[in-house]
Amino acid sequence: MKAMKSEVMDGSDIKELVENDNVFSNFVHHKFQQLDSDCDGKLSLKELQPAVQHIGAALGLPAQGASPQSDHIYSEVLNEFTHGKQEKISKIQFKEVLSDILLGMAAGLKRDPVVILRIDGDDLLEFVNGPTFEPEILSLFSEIDLPEGSLKDYIIKAFEKLSVDQGVPPATDPWVMSNILEPALEPLGDSLDETVSQETFVAGFKQASENAASLLKEQPAIVAHSQNTFDGSGIRRLLSNKFELDKALDTALKSVPRDRHGKISKEFLRVAVDNLGASAGLPPLGAVEQMDNIVTEAIKMFGGEDGKTVKEDEFKKLLTEVLGSIMLQLEGNPVSISINSVVHEPLASSSTLLQPSSP
């Protein structure tokens, strides 16, 4: 990724904004006025929507309506403002919730910085003209299993298997598909419908890649790139500090319901593990499938699905043992993930929600 222009987002700018009370109060005042279209001193659900959308953009989420997963996050952000029931919120409430959300974003970015890449075709051309191109493409060809697939099917699948390391933006993104890949394939004409051999695949993919590089030169793709390895070190740090562990366990159990005897059902172990995620260096449940499987197996091992209720101290002990089991799994087999998503905003320009307002 030598040729790509990049910018690291580590949350420091967001944290600095929120922690300067005068600047943040002024920031909130102007944002509130911008959103309060009827000037009644309160923000309705409709008036809050732009703020929620801008927070989503700052998080690198697709636009609302693009996917059920991201729509769920948008819904959760809106619920944070309204607590799921209020129809309007005051400026004070807006400031408190916005502060919590932004500090959460900053903490997440500090833990897992996001690199914003400008993919302009140069790296892709370097890959196509480099010595590793043909061996890598032939290796991809052998991995693709499309018995009835045409040349077009094979080329698209190959683009999906490549990454920003080769100068390719996420091929499954609708913008990339319609603006880069489909136009890059058009010049191949009728050959796209033919059956595939190694020779036709290599030649066709090379031509499509060169076309894609030219299109990226005219219309660069801005991609948010993050990479993380979950190796259990975060859990080990937490378990080795009794004070921090006790504090994290108390916080994690605040939202866990109890029965009339004060006992907690073991079925809430999953919720409690998710609540401990930030403290233990774990991703949110549902974000990484491999991690979800490890957590599920650890919870099963300690009877998390038997529905029995236990006293709070016993629940905390079980939760600590579940964390220990997850840690051992990750130390033996770390989980590495790389996430790339297209950001439909200019490089060096975050969401307008996070831009200072002119007085």
pLDDT digits (tens, 9 = 90+) for 134-192: 999 999 999 998 888 899 999 999 999 998 889 999 898 888 999 999 999 999 999 99
Out of 29-38, 166-175, 224-233, 257-266, which region has the weakest mean confidence (pLDDT)? 224-233
Q: State the helix-helix crossing angle for 68-82 and 91-111, rounded to 10 degrees.
A: 140
Rounded CA separation 342/171 (Å): 10
Residue 75, pLDDT score = 74
Residue 58, pLDDT score = 62
Rounded CA separation 341/271 (Å): 28
Residue 205, pLDDT score = 95
> What is the maximal distance between C-alpha atoms in the chain?
73
Q: Which long-range contacts (CB under 8 A, 24 or more apart) does 88-91 make?
A: 88/42, 88/43, 88/44, 89/42, 89/43, 89/48, 90/41, 90/42, 91/28, 91/29, 91/32, 91/41
DSSP 3-state of 303: coil
pLDDT digits (tens, 9 = 90+) for 345-359: 443 334 455 554 444
pTM above 0.75, yes or no: no
Q: How many CA atoms lie within 13 A of 129 on its CB side?
A: 8
Beta strands 88-89 and 43-44 are antiparallel
